[in-house]
């Protein structure tokens, strides 16, 4: 599985690093009463950075857990695009580069855990057509993969 991180994720990472950096700057330049602002920026920036890393790692691990092999064709040639949205949930794309199937996975913006999985494009030979557009839990696709293997 190959991962692509979209610019929105990097923009957010840069933002929190700048915030922490500004906080550090204020702390170094002014050792007076306003240093509390520096501490707030620094702590907020670092906390957000750690939190982001936690969410990102969870989203990645979840994608690996459920999509290490394509549920439709079994290929491990999978591309996952990890992104960050300005909403409660984040949506990512999982694309099978062998059969062309594409899923949108929705993860919690707080924890990075997968909430729902939706097939938005069936494979190039129309396998999975019957599941198109259905929002399911990730376990559903584990079942599909298992059924395919039994055939
Ligand atoms: Zn596939």
Cβ–Cβ < 8 Å for 50, 65: no
CA of 78 relative to ligand 1 center, distance in Å: 8
Average pLDDT over residues 98-103: 97
CA of 84 relative to ligand 1 center, distance in Å: 25
DSSP E strand boundaries for 1-151? 2-5, 78-82, 89-96, 102-108, 114-121, 135-136
- What are the structural domain ranges in the chain? 2-150
CA of 141 relative to ligand 1 center, distance in Å: 12
CA of 124 relative to ligand 1 center, distance in Å: 9
pLDDT band at 104 (very low <50, low <70, confident <90, very high): very high
pTM of the model: 0.87
DSSP state, residue 7: H
Quick one: CA dihedral 70, 76, 79, 81, positive or negative? Answer: positive
pLDDT band at 29 (very low <50, low <70, confident <90, very high): confident
Q: Which pLDDT tens digit goes with each residue over 117-128?
A: 999 999 999 999
Average pLDDT over residues 37-66: 91
| C-alpha pair distances (Å), 33 with each of 28, 29, 30, 39, 43 | 13, 12, 8, 11, 17
Token pair 């409660």 in the structure block, residue: 88
Encoded tokens for 132: 């198109």
């Amino acid at each position: 599985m190959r991962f692509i991180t979209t610019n929105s994720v990097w923009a957010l990472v840069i933002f929190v690093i700048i915030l922490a950096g500004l906080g550090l700057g204020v702390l170094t330049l002014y050792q007076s009463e306003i240093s509390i602002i520096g501490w707030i920026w620094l702590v907020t920036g670092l906390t957000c950075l750690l939190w982001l890393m936690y969410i990102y790692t969870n989203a990645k691990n979840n994608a690996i857990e459920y999509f290490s092999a394509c549920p439709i064709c079994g290929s491990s040639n999978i591309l996952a695009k990890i992104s960050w949205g300005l909403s409660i949930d984040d949506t990512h794309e999982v694309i099978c580069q062998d059969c062309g199937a594409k899923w949108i996975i929705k993860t919690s913006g707080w924890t990075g855990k997968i909430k729902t999985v939706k097939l938005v494009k069936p494979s190039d030979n129309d396998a999975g057509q019957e599941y198109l557009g259905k929002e399911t839990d990730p376990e559903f696709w584990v079942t599909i993969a298992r059924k395919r293997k039994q055939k």
